[in-house]
Amino acid sequence: METSRRDFLVIGGRLLVMTAATAGALEHVLAGTPEKAPTYDTAAHWWAMTIDIDLCIGCGNCVRACKAENDVLNEPFYFRTWVERYHVDPADMEHPTVDSPNGGFDGFMERYPDGSGKTFFVPKLCNHCAHSPCVQVCPVGATFETPDGVVLVDKEYCIGCRYCVQACPYGCRYIDPRTHTADKCTLCYHRITRGLTTACVETCPTGARQLADLKNPADPIHEFLRANKIQVLKAQMATGAKVYYAGLDGAVR
């Protein structure tokens, strides 16, 4: 009795302080199943992500949030997103030193002293390529590009042949040892289709990552792409990668 009365008070208190906008956001959270958020129209979106290298501080928030949000196995070697640290010596720019201890999950222990070359962080995730090599090689149609530009895996259909893992130039895929099927970043498809942003963007303290919808004319990505020098990873692979990096060094691969 006591408990239910307190619940009533809490809920009542919430209703009092909620503005219309936040109530809307909470409704998305409460929505639960996609059927309950029927307004989402795949034809109205074309998802991408922007990453500003100069804003990344290598805290690893994105890696931890991603694992929690998407039930990613909390062990090394299973990452939907991870952070790499590059150290480039001007004398040998072709051969950078790179590390990514536990994918950056625990942040980075200090290692490189200041002054010897440059050091910076590079967050990585699936590039949700428009011409995905992984989708191309899937023998059965268990991975695909959605009409709104996200590369997804059908875990009930995947045969676990691992050809897609081989075909990804970016190392974004792995086999989930619990399901024996391919797994990868879904761009938090369960969130973005409910009006929320991805877990990595939600928890990024500096705003280095931003979810972007290229079909939305008001999306800041258009200004971002105009105002910055933009690079995608391994452009020579012609994968149509849709993770756009600002300030990416040529040493990054």
- Binding residues among 168-197 for another protein as defined by CB under 8 A: 168-175, 179-181, 186, 189-191, 193-194, 196-197
Q: Is residue 127 close enough to count as binding another protein by CB under 8 A?
A: no
Q: How far is the CB of 126 from another protein (least distance, A)?
A: 11
Q: Which of 211, 245, 180, 168 is nearest to 45 (CA)?
A: 211
Helix (H, G, I), strand (E, B) or coil at 31: coil
Q: Is residue 215 close enough to count as binding another protein by CB under 8 A?
A: no
Separation CA 46–CA 242 (nearest Å): 10
Identify which of residues 183 and 219 has a Cβ nearer to another protein in the complex. 183
Identify which of residues 44 and 68 has a Cβ nearer to another protein in the complex. 68
Q: How far is the CB of 221 from another protein (least distance, A)?
A: 18
Q: Is residue 33 close enough to count as binding another protein by CB under 8 A?
A: yes
9-21 b/e with 16+ CB inside 10 Å = b? eeeeeeeeeeeee
Q: Is residue 224 close enough to count as binding another protein by CB under 8 A?
A: no
By CB under 8 A, the residues from 2 to 31 that bind another protein are: 7, 10-11, 13-14, 17-19, 21-26, 28-30
Q: Which of 181, 100, 186 is nearest to 150 (CA)?
A: 186
Separation CA 206–CA 199 (nearest Å): 14
Q: How far is the CB of 208 from another protein (least distance, A)?
A: 10
Residues composing the chain: 253
Separation CA 146–CA 135 (nearest Å): 11
Of positions 89, 92, 166, 220, contacts another protein by CB under 8 A: 166
Specify which residues 230 forms β-bridges with: 246
Q: How far is the CB of 214 from another protein (least distance, A)?
A: 19
By CB under 8 A, the residues from 87 to 126 that bind another protein are: 87, 95-100, 102-103, 106-108, 110-114, 119-121, 124
By CB under 8 A, the residues from 48 to 67 that bind another protein are: 54-61, 65
Give ∠ CA 207-208-209 in degrees, rounded to 5. 90
Q: Is residue 228 close enough to count as binding another protein by CB under 8 A?
A: no
Helix (H, G, I), strand (E, B) or coil at 43: helix
Of positions 73, 162, 213, 221, contacts another protein by CB under 8 A: 162
Q: Is residue 1 close enough to count as binding another protein by CB under 8 A?
A: no
Kindly give the residue spans of alpha helices, DSSP state H, lying in 20-153. Answer: 20-30, 61-70, 133-137
